Amino acid sequence: MSRRPRLSIIIVNFNTQEWLRRCLTSLDRQSISRTDLEVIVVDNASADDSVQMVRSEFPNCRLVCQEKNAGFGAANNAGARESSAPTLLFLNPDTEVAEENSIEQFLNMFEGQIDAVIAGGTIHDENGDLERSSGSFPTLTSLVLDRLLATCSILRTQLGSRSGRHWTGFDRQRNVDWVTAAAIWVRAEAFTAVGGFDEAIFMYYEDVDLCYRVTKAGLGRCIYHPSGAITHFRNKAPTSMDRKQLQRKWLRHFGRKHYNGPRHGLTRLTFACAYWVSRSR
Residue 33, CB-side half-sphere exposure with 13 Å CA sphere: 7
Q: List, for residues 50-100, the tens digit of each pLDDT value.
A: 999 999 999 999 999 999 998 999 999 999 999 999 999 999 999 999 899
Q: List, for residues 4-48, the tens digit of each pLDDT value.
A: 999 999 999 999 999 999 999 999 999 999 999 999 999 999 999
pLDDT of residue 179: 98
3-class SS at 77? helix
Q: Is the pLDDT of residue 239 over 60?
A: no
Q: Is the pTM of this model over 0.75?
A: yes
* Residues 201-230 as b or e (16 or more Cβ within 10 Å = b): bbbbbbbbbbbbbbbeeebbebbbbebbbb
pLDDT of residue 270: 72
Q: List, for residues 259-278, the tens digit of each pLDDT value.
A: 887 667 777 777 767 667 65
Q: 47 near 76, Cβ under 8 Å?
A: no
